[in-house]
Amino acid sequence: MKQIRSWVFAGLVAFLAFVAVVLAPGNIQAQALQKVRIAIPTINVLTRPWYIAKDKGFYAAEGLDPEFIYVQGTLQPPALVNGEIDFAGSGDTGLRAAANGVPIKLVFAMTHRPDFMLVVKPEIKSGKELRGKKIAVSSIGSLTAVGAKAAAGALGLNPDTDIFLLAMGEQTNRFAALQAGSADGMIVDPGLALAAQKKGFHILSRVGEQLELIQVGLAMSNQKLKSNPELARRFLKGSVRGLVDVQKNPEEMIQAVMKLRKLNREDATAVYKMELNSFTRDGTPSRKSVESAIQIALQGRPGPKPTYEDLVDLTPLKQAHKELGIVGNY
């Protein structure tokens, strides 16, 4: 009888130990992680905070397992509306689509200024020498095209008549066009601008100094935002933590830049410092950046235009800020 009791007791202890392991917070979390699909327009320095947030477990702490997928910016709004993705990471495209009546809302801004730079042939030293020249951008109507026009305007040129835009796709293609002489300038990110500078080309303008516009952000469909506000709050909480982290801990970001751009430490540090000017402090979209998107989307169109409140929903971001102890600049 005693032996039977010993077996029962041992079995009970083993069972309770098993239950304790299964119900441990980490294991519950691992079993319950919800898949989330986020479309991003490219993998670059400005999207790194999302990856850092995932690597550090900021999303897992919210019960989420994000999947970042490449989707061209113009295809992201319809993918949102159709339910193919949960979030669209091309903030500028999302805002312009919303301004044109697509039922989506901006909920988070990773950046408030584009990181683009206007790089030109060595002999072009001023706006006057840029007149009549060809500038390579990703596509006509893209944010890089907007940036090229903003830079031209700041240099004293008429952006609609004094420069010509060449749609060249990825920035490596733009650089190839500049090197081949088929383009006189290009709009690229700081990493490639620095590489071009080392080859003798000239950085004529930093677009972010002339243009306040969201390059990277998060948009959601109105339907999903209404039906699942908790998803928005949880994902934004992880995203804000990632954004704050890259600004407070430069070393990890510098290492990421070195790996992503295959740069030495000195150059990666320089790129990181350039990119810092583009990030928002806490994910809050500035009014000016949203109004710039509205103006670009509806330029020349008569009639009333949508407002900041029409296109932006700060409710989940404010909730995330409150839980993180952040006082947002709303």
Q: Each residue's pLDDT tens digit in the chain (330 positions)? A: 444 444 434 444 444 444 344 444 444 445 689 999 999 988 788 999 999 999 999 999 999 999 999 998 889 999 999 999 999 999 889 999 999 999 999 999 999 999 999 999 999 999 999 999 999 999 988 899 999 999 999 999 999 999 999 999 999 999 999 999 999 999 999 999 999 999 999 999 999 998 999 999 999 999 999 999 999 999 999 999 999 999 999 998 999 889 888 889 999 999 999 999 999 999 999 999 999 999 989 987 888 899 999 999 999 999 999 999 999 888
DSSP for 199-261 reads: TT-EEEEEGGGT----SSEEEEEHHHHHH-HHHHHHHHHHHHHHHHHHHH-HHHHHHHHHHHH
The answer to whether 33-112+213-324 and 117-209 have equal CATH topology is: yes
Q: Where are the domains of the chain?
A: 33-112+213-324, 117-209
Q: What is the pLDDT of residue 261?
A: 83
Among 3.90.550.10, 3.40.190.10, 3.20.20.70, 3.40.50.300, name the CATH number for the domain at 117-209. 3.40.190.10
**Which fold does the domain 33-112+213-324 belong to in CATH?**
D-Maltodextrin-Binding Protein; domain 2 (3.40.190)
pTM of the complete model: 0.85
Whole-number Å distance between alpha carbons of 206 and 147: 9
